[in-house]
């Protein structure tokens, strides 16, 4: 059966018996659970997956810009003075 990695979208092939089990993508090493035969669900899944990825990217960019603003000062402040 055809498997698509939920993380990097790599096209994989695996045994039908892999359904419902954890699989690991050889491309990005991400582990994910294989849900049901994809033939019918595929459009639905790729539909919300695309939205999900879009949201995730947006979130990622937001987080990164915040991190850049912080400028890596984290770690400078430590628990000092308490003996
Ligand atoms: Zn992958």
Is position 83 within any domain? no
Is position 81 within any domain? no
- Domains in the chain, number: 1
Residue-level pLDDT at 37: 58
Question: What is the per-residue pLDDT across 27-79, written as a single tens digit (0 to 9) for each?
Answer: 999 998 887 655 555 555 555 566 666 676 777 777 788 788 887 655 555 56
DSSP designation for 34: -
Contacts for 46 with CB less than 8 Å, ≥ 6 apart? 4
Q: How far is the CA of 59 from the centre of ligand 1 (A)?
A: 20
Q: How far apart are CA 12 and CA 25, in angstroms?
A: 8
Question: What is the per-residue pLDDT across 11-21, written as a single tens digit (0 to 9) for each?
Answer: 988 888 888 88
Task: For residue 18, give its domain range.
Answer: 2-69
Residue-level pLDDT at 27: 92
**What six digits make up the tokens of 63?**
């987080």
Length of the chain: 83
Say what the pTM is. 0.40
Q: How far is the CA of 67 from the centre of ligand 1 (A)?
A: 26
Q: How far is the CA of 2 from the centre of ligand 1 (A)?
A: 14
């Amino acid at each position: 059966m055809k498997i698509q990695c939920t993380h990097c979208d790599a096209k994989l092939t695996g045994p039908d018996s892999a359904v419902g089990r954890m699989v690991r993508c050889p491309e990005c090493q991400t582990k994910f659970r294989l849900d049901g035969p994809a033939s019918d669900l595929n459009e639905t899944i790729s539909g919300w997956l695309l939205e999900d990825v879009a949201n995730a990217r947006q979130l990622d960019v937001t987080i990164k810009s915040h991190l850049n603003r912080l400028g890596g000062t984290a770690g400078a402040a430590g628990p000092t003075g308490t003996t």
